[in-house]
Structure formats: C-alpha cells, structure tokens
Amino acid sequence: MLLDDVEDIVAELLTMFTLRGIPCAGAHSLREALATLRALPSISLVISDIRLRDEAGEDMITLVKMDPDLRQRDFRFVFMTGDVMRFAGQDTIENHPILLKPVHPQRLLELVKGILAPSSDGQ
C-alpha cells in the first residue's frame, strides 16, 4: 500500500508498481490507510511518506500495533522523506528503511521486490 497526502505521487507510484506486476492500493491519510489495510488482508507492505498533512507516516507502525485485527498480521514498512536534516544519518525507523527524497524509482522497485520476495526458508 502507498500512503502519501499528495494524490499525484500516489497515482504515479500506483501506476509504476502496477505496470511491473506488483498489485497495490493507495491512501492519502492514516485513517484511510487503516481502512484499506482492514479491507485488504493481502497487504503486507506499507510505503509511506513521513510527512503527511497533519499526521506523521511513521505513526502507522503504532496504529497497526494498537489495532486488535491488524496487529495479528506481519507488516513491513518503507518510509520516504524529504526532511534530510531530521533524518541525516538515520536509515531506519524501528528497523524499517527510510529513503531520502528524491527517491529513484528503480531503487524503490528493487527494495519492494526484495521485501515481497519469498524467503529462502519457504516463508
């Protein structure tokens, strides 16, 4: 799932992933993202901008952990930010990667494919 408050960014990334055979959904707020995760149990990866209008994308981790249904599922997160000063030298939030903007599409695709690929132990 893609989470960004800028609709054009969500639309562009949805197109990029869909054209490469990676199904995904989009959301523009934390509330919409939670509803999407509840409605689509196949989602296991959330790619989120850190700065949303009046929200913080990294709050998705806490919200998922607090939700009685969602906390039963195994989620991975990838965060993106243009806030180089705040995240200089920090490459993860709770062991989830942070990509600094501008994010190169090929880098994002490789990261997503690596996360979604079945592990060698069959899981």
The contacts of residue 64 (CB under 8 Å, 6+ apart) are 34, 37, 70, 71, 73, 75
- Picking from 52, 8, 11, 13, the residue whose alpha carbon sits closest to that of residue 30 is 52
Confidence of residue 119 (pLDDT cuts 50, 70, 90): low
Q: What is the pLDDT of residue 120?
A: 54
Which helix or strand (DSSP H or E) is residue 47 part of? strand 45-49
Per-residue pLDDT tens digits for 47-95: 999 999 999 999 999 999 999 999 999 999 999 998 877 777 778 999 9
- Picking from 95, 84, 38, the residue whose alpha carbon sits closest to that of residue 64 is 38
In one letter, which amino acid is 114? G
Q: Spell out the domain ranges in the chain.
A: 2-116
Tokens of 114: 């690596």
Between 3.40.718.10, 3.40.50.2300, 3.40.50.300, 3.40.50.720, what CATH number should domain 2-116 receive?
Answer: 3.40.50.2300
What mean pLDDT is reported for the chain?
93
Whether 103 has a pLDDT exceeding 50, the answer reads yes
- Predicted TM-score (pTM) of this structure: 0.91
Confidence of residue 113 (pLDDT cuts 50, 70, 90): very high
